[in-house]
Structure 1
Amino acid sequence: MQRLMSTSSQHLAGFLALIILLLLFTANHAVAQNSKQQQASAKTSQQLNEIQRAINQQKKALSSTNIKISDLQQHLKADDIAISKISKKLAQTSSQLEQVSEKLVRLTTEKKQLQTAKLQQEQGLAKQLRAAYSAGHHDYLKLMLNQQQASSVQRTLTYYQYLNTARIKEIERFQATMDKLYQVEQEYQAKAEQLAQLTESQQQQKQVLELSKAKQQQTLKALNSKALTGQQKLAKLEREEQAMVKLLKEMAAAAQAAKNLVSLSKLKRKLSWPVKGRISHSFGSRKQGYLKWKGVFIAAPIGRQVQAVHNGTILFADWLQGYGLVSVIDHGDGYMSLYGHNQTLLKSVGDRVEAGEAIALVGQSGGQSKSGLYFEIRQAGKAVNPKIWCK
């Protein structure tokens, strides 16, 4: 019996030991498993933190890029406006040079004519003086005493009075010619000096223009270095187009009072294009993503005149992001035409313009890599194909 009890105690002790071992193993396994989970959790948390840091850095970089692009856009605006101002001055100087040059040509012709008249008058006076000298140095008293008949005396006196009067008139004409020649020479000298000053001013303006263009190219280079993804380009164009649409709606509202302007509704296929050049982007063609061209882009050299397609009133004349220096003309009855990327604007808001009148000069403002004109026609705020109106 004692042996049996001893055997049972042994079995119980072994069983208890086995249970304790199992419990210890389970506890160790749980601890190990828990440690692995904690490690995995810590690793996941670390990865999440790294991702969040990367996202924040990307946001900061994107924000910094957007700020830099915005700053560069402002610099581009300043560059475009500076080029516009100096180009306008240069155009005015060139016009003055042309006028002064034409005046100098006229003065040169007049001067030659006066010099010829002076020479002829000098020869005429010399001839009269020689004739008077050959008649002898007789005074009127001697002539009258030497005459036998009164009729001869009268004829002689009349003859000498005639010669004297003619000589006086010739001298007066000669003096008038000399005075006129002096005035022409003085005016010629003044115009020659003005021409020299204008020429020097023109050279200085050209140097300033080249410096402004170089600065503009640096800004464009800096802008292009900020590489944008397709989605970013699309978002940028969307913002620019929304700004344009908003502007045109405001222009349309402002133009409602203009009821006396001739409408474009009856002028389809009758208008001339605003500038001579090749259409490199057509109305409705793909621009970026789903965006399409709302107008046409006409490739043309810098400085070529941009002409109003029809008479109207200037509603807008300023710089607009993405479109550069822009002019908008109200043609009445809900029709407007838009001219973008100009180098300089020749008309101001409120100016009345006629068909064919120069309103701007072709450029590449607004960040364009090539020179040309962006041209739109809108009816009731909706863009329509310019080819419907222009021949």
Structure 2
Amino acid sequence: MARGGATFGAWVAGLALLLGLASPLAAQPSEREAQARLDALGEALREASAQLSTTREARDEASEALREVETALAETHRRLDALQAERRALGDQIATLETRLEQLAAERAEQVAALSAQLDALYRLGRTPQLKLLLNQDDPARLDRLQTYLNRLARARNKRLDALARLDAKLMENHRALAARNERLEAVAEELAERSARLAEQMSQRAALLARLDERFASEQARLATLAQDRAHAERTLREIQERLARLERPPPSTAIEQTRGELPWPVQGSIVSAFHEDAGVHRNGLLIQAAAGTPVRAVHAGRVVFADWMRGFGNLLIVDHGDRVMTLYAHLQHFTAPVGAAVSRGDTLGAVGDSGGQPRPGLYFEVRRGGDPIDPRRWIVRHP
């Protein structure tokens, strides 16, 4: 317990530094010092996550294996999302480059046609037109006009040649850029295929682990008892977090969340599977919202991410502190989008709907806690459509 308290103390200290809760007499940190504190906070939170994922009761190997495979699954999903986004961006870039290539080719064709017309005019004058003008001993005024015409024609020809050279350089640069984008697109497609195969393998491992975990329970009562233990442990830890934050010399800054009660948006749209205090397990103190896997989960209000890790019973769990002793919890995420320490605004994406924590189907578990106590989220968010 002493080691756990020290770990938690380091976590709170790191959080205080990140949120700017240190003594106002302290000197303002440099950018490097601020980044070092942010890194320290991340490490402290990872240690806190390890503490949250353990209990006094012995856990079998299957439970730990589930944590490992679901953590790996989250990273695979995150990377797949990043690759899909990169592929879309590359597709847009390639389309833009191809359009530009067509425009440059059309411009070059126009310049070549114009240059051909100029060369044809010179050809009709014959070879060495200036010499012919002098030998003809024609009217001097006419000679001046013809010479002026020839000079203009020569300048126009040189401009066309310069323009063609510039267009050729742009075309070559465009071709190189297009080839590079296509090469990167092939690499992205190859990695997508590899990640997809890895995802299928990890999902198969997860299914086998869930089957092993289910075999532990001789009855539904035994399963619910284990889930109740998971919930009780998480509640004790989360209450301690809230209480220690409240005891800080300067509490986390307010985001005026109290003024938005009843007006907060839903973190995700879907059907409510379990309402507040309806479930006997880990979902008792919040809402379980069924939604399609991969659906973006959004912050309901401004705040700062203070936790993002795997927790037994809740899977990938993310916690946002909103100040005013109010926190929101988002569990069973497929993966995280917002890292620990990130400041988020209302509507920012925090992660994606998943089934982590051993859930049988995708969904989001959502909690609101005030002063460490869970309250019905429907008192804070708008009426469900």
Matched, 1:284 2:277: yes
Once the two structures are superposed, residues 170-203 of structure 1 have per-residue CA deviations (whole angstroms, 9 ceiling, x without a partner) of 1111111111111111111111111111011101
**Matches for 1:117-136 after TM superposition, within 5 Å:** 117-136=107-126
From 374, 387, 390, the equivalent of 2:378 is 387
* Contact 2:224–2:280 under 8 Å retained in 1: no
Determine the C-alpha separation between the residues in 1 that align with 2:218 and 2:347: 40
Letter in 1 for 2:286: G
**Matches for 1:254-273 after TM superposition, within 5 Å:** 254=245, 257=250, 259-273=252-266
Which residue of structure 1 lines up, in the alignment, with residue 16 of structure 2?
none
Quick one: percent identity of the two aligned structures? 29
TM-score normalised to the size of structure 1? Answer: 0.79
Determine the C-alpha separation between the residues in 2 that align with 1:280 and 1:158: 87
Give the CA deviation at 1:231. 4.9
Relative to structure 1, is the Cα distance of residues 87 and 258 closer, same or farther in structure 2, using a 3 angstrom cutoff?
Answer: farther
Which residue of structure 1 lines up, in the alignment, with residue 342 of structure 2?
351
Question: What residue ranges of structure 2 are gaps of 5+ in the alignment?
Answer: 1-56
Determine the C-alpha separation between the residues in 1 that align with 2:264 and 2:154: 71
Instruction: Please tell me whether Structure 1 or Structure 2 has the larger radius of gyration of its CA atoms.
Output: 1
Question: What residue ranges of structure 1 are gaps of 5+ in the alignment?
Answer: 1-65
Determine the C-alpha separation between the residues in 1 that align with 2:283 and 2:108: 73
Which residue of structure 2 lines up, in the alignment, with residue 362 of structure 1?
353
Higher relative contact order (CA 8 A, sep 6+): 2
Which residue of structure 2 lines up, in the alignment, with residue 172 of structure 1?
162
Give the CA deviation at 1:379. 0.8
From 218, 223, 234, the equivalent of 2:208 is 218
* Contact 2:245–2:252 under 8 Å retained in 1: no
The 3-state SS of whatever aligns with 1:122 is helix
Determine the C-alpha separation between the residues in 2 that align with 1:150 and 1:218: 101
* Contact 2:240–2:372 under 8 Å retained in 1: no
4+ long deviations beyond 4 Å? 255-258
Paired residues, number: 323
TM-score normalised to the size of structure 2? Answer: 0.80
Give the CA deviation at 1:262. 1.1
Q: Which has the higher helix share?
A: 1
Determine the C-alpha separation between the residues in 2 that align with 1:294 and 1:135: 94
Determine the C-alpha separation between the residues in 2 that align with 1:216 and 1:82: 10
The 3-state SS of whatever aligns with 1:348 is coil
Matched, 1:84 2:74: yes
**Matches for 1:257-336 after TM superposition, within 5 Å:** 257=250, 259-287=252-280, 293-336=284-327
Letter in 2 for 1:344: H
Which residue of structure 1 lines up, in the alignment, with residue 142 of structure 2?
152
Determine the C-alpha separation between the residues in 2 that align with 1:267 and 1:321: 32
Determine the C-alpha separation between the residues in 1 that align with 2:304 and 2:379: 22
Determine the C-alpha separation between the residues in 2 that align with 1:346 and 1:118: 46
Letter in 1 for 2:145: R
Relative to structure 1, is the Cα distance of residues 147 and 333 closer, same or farther in structure 2, using a 3 angstrom cutoff?
Answer: farther
Which residue of structure 1 lines up, in the alignment, with residue 330 of structure 2?
339
Letter in 1 for 2:66: L
Give the CA deviation at 1:270. 1.4
Which residue of structure 1 lines up, in the alignment, with residue 13 of structure 2?
none
Aligned residues: CA RMSD: 1.8
Give the CA deviation at 1:346. 1.4
Give the CA deviation at 1:159. 1.1
Which residue of structure 2 lines up, in the alignment, with residue 32 of structure 1?
none
Which residue of structure 1 lines up, in the alignment, with residue 364 of structure 2?
373
* Contact 2:325–2:371 under 8 Å retained in 1: yes
